[in-house]
Structure 1
Amino acid sequence: MAEPWWIRVALPFPASLALPALGLGVAWLTWPQAAGAWAPMLALLAGLAAWTLVEYLLHRFFMHGVEPFAAWHLQHHRDPLAPLRVPVAFSLMLVLAMLGLPLMVLGPDSLAAPFSAGLLLGDILQESVHQRLHAHEVSGHWLPYLRDHHAWHHFRDEGLAFGTLTDFWDRCFGTCPPSERGR
């Protein structure tokens, strides 16, 4: 059975960043004014750190185990050099969850907006870094290491190396490639 059109619609990078960027705008509009500067910044950093766990879990369990996500992701594994495309339905659900869940858990008069902003910034950063890891040239120390980590996932064992921004969660959950475990 063919997927409905609204599931197949996907935006190529960088247009795929539009919905998370719109979510950032919503978070900014609801930013707590009375919280001072430090608490919102710490909440933003906590959201960014939380994103790395969300990204690991989404990649490991949804992109490799739940349809239609697994079918979409399989296309990326089959042709990793093709431009990355993010289904709009997936992006919209993710952005709404990143805005709504912190609000539901923390409440409207809280640091939910900065925490959500951190999650959304993490999403934008992860998508941008992921695009860069598939580019022909990467420089510095961090990107070549992440590229090698990601290449392990693509070309050696797709049951390992799920993290894109960091290998921290791969280390925590035992999915780090053997050559990286001693680092």
Structure 2
Amino acid sequence: MEYTLHRFVLHMKTKSYWANTAHYLFHGCHHKHPMDGLRLVFPPAGTAILCVPVYNLLRLISTPTTTPALFGGVLMGYVIYECTHYYLHYGQPSSSMPQKLKKYHLNHHYRMQSKSFGITSSLWDHVFGTCPDSLVAEKKR
């Protein structure tokens, strides 16, 4: 979900004034100012609004007793994602895995915005060919 939303929704090509404005407000301002702490996470009001269709979608595909649990899992996954994203921008990781994730994500911001869409993992970038060539060559060695 993270990779799909980041690549196809947050990095979609827009042509109209209103689409460009909405895109800038949702994600473009984060790319323009990647180290601005106020632009690192999606606004809580926007998240609350988006929770309604997500909950209704889950209601369609699950039973009334499992919907709240599934919704809780989706919400928890989202919060973990946002915390990870914030940490990759502002944290000072001391172990190698978070250091690699931070380098990988900041590469997306400062070098190639059309690559490295994964935030918590580079797995789907490898699967869909959006991993930077330098990292693919490095893995083959």
Would you say same fold, with TM above 0.5? yes
Identity %: 31
Q: 1:34 matched to which residue of 2? A: none
Change (3 A) 1:80 1:151: same
Distance 1:118 1:168 in 2: 21
Q: 1:106 matched to which residue of 2? A: 62
Alignment root-mean-square deviation, CA: 2.1
The answer to whether structure 1 residue 71 and structure 2 residue 27 are counterparts is no
Q: 1:62 matched to which residue of 2? A: 9
Specify every segment of 5 or more residues in structure 1 that has no aligned partner in the other structure, as ranges.
Answer: 1-53
Distance 1:69 1:163 in 2: 22
Pairing of 1:135-146 with structure 2 (within 5 A): 135=90, 137-146=92-101
Deviation at 1:172, TM superposition (A): 1.8
Distance 1:135 1:88 in 2: 19
Deviation at 1:59, TM superposition (A): 1.1
Q: Which has the higher helix share?
A: 2
- Asked if structure 2 preserves the Cα contact closer than 8 Å seen for 1:149 and 1:161, the reply is yes
Q: Which amino acid aligns with 1:171?
A: H
Q: 2:120 matched to which residue of 1? A: 165
The answer to whether structure 1 residue 132 and structure 2 residue 87 are counterparts is yes
Equivalent position to 2:34, from 80, 89, 96: 80
Equivalent position to 1:119, from 58, 74, 86: 74
Q: Secondary structure at the match of 2:42?
A: strand
How far does the alpha carbon of each residue in 1:133-171 deviate from its partner, in whole angstroms, 9 at most, with x for none? 111512223211111110111011101111111112212
Distance 1:96 1:58 in 2: 17
- Asked if structure 2 preserves the Cα contact closer than 8 Å seen for 1:161 and 1:167, the reply is yes
Question: What TM-score do you get using the length of structure 1 for normalisation?
Answer: 0.62
Deviation at 1:113, TM superposition (A): 2.6
- Asked if structure 1 preserves the Cα contact closer than 8 Å seen for 2:115 and 2:132, the reply is yes
Specify every segment of 5 or more residues in structure 2 that has no aligned partner in the other structure, as ranges.
Answer: none
Equivalent position to 1:95, from 21, 29, 51: 51
Q: Number of residue pairs matched?
A: 129
